[in-house]
Amino acid sequence: MKKPFYFLLLLTAVFSLSAFTASAADQTSTFMVKGSCGMCKKKIETSLRVKGVKRVNWDKETKMLTVTFNPEHISLDEIHHRVAAIGYDTEKVKAPDEAYAKLDDCCRYDRD
C-alpha cells in the first residue's frame, strides 16, 4: 500500500523539478520602444502575445519595454522585429515606413 504513495511522491517531485528547471531558462530584457500613449502600450504588449513570451510591460513614461521570454521558443531579435512590424521603432530595429504610417495620429512619435 505504501509503494504507490512513494512512487506518486517521487513522480511529483520529478515533475516539479523539471518545471522549475524550465522556468530558470527564461530571460528578461529591457529596451527602448518608441511610442506615446495608452493605445501604443496595448498594441506593443499585444504584439508579443506569442509562444515563448511569459511577461511583457511597456512603460509609456520611460518608453522602456520589459519582456520575459524563453529563448528556446523566441529570440530577442524576433521580439524586436515583432514590435517593429506593427510600427514602433526599437533600439535595434526601425519600423517599416508603411507600418509607421498606419499608426493612429496619437501613436505617432518623432522619428530620428
Give per-residue pLDDT as tens, 76-100.
999 999 999 999 999 999 999 999 9
Task: With respect to residue 20, please indicate whether it lies within any of the assigned structural domains.
Answer: no
The domain in which residue 88 lies consists of 26-107
Distance CA 99, CA 49 (A): 19
Task: With respect to residue 47, please indicate whether it lies within any of the assigned structural domains.
Answer: yes
* CATH number of the domain to which 81 belongs: 3.30.70.100
For residue 64, give the 3-state DSSP assignment: strand
**Residue 86 near residue 64 (C-beta atoms within 8 A):** no
pLDDT in tens, 3-16: 666 655 555 555 55
Q: Record the pTM.
A: 0.78
Task: With respect to residue 18, please indicate whether it lies within any of the assigned structural domains.
Answer: no
Task: With respect to residue 97, please indicate whether it lies within any of the assigned structural domains.
Answer: yes
Task: With respect to residue 76, please indicate whether it lies within any of the assigned structural domains.
Answer: yes
Distance CA 43, CA 45 (A): 6
**Residue 32 near residue 92 (C-beta atoms within 8 A):** no
- Count the domains in the chain: 1
Task: With respect to residue 7, please indicate whether it lies within any of the assigned structural domains.
Answer: no
Distance CA 104, CA 55 (A): 25
Task: With respect to residue 17, please indicate whether it lies within any of the assigned structural domains.
Answer: no
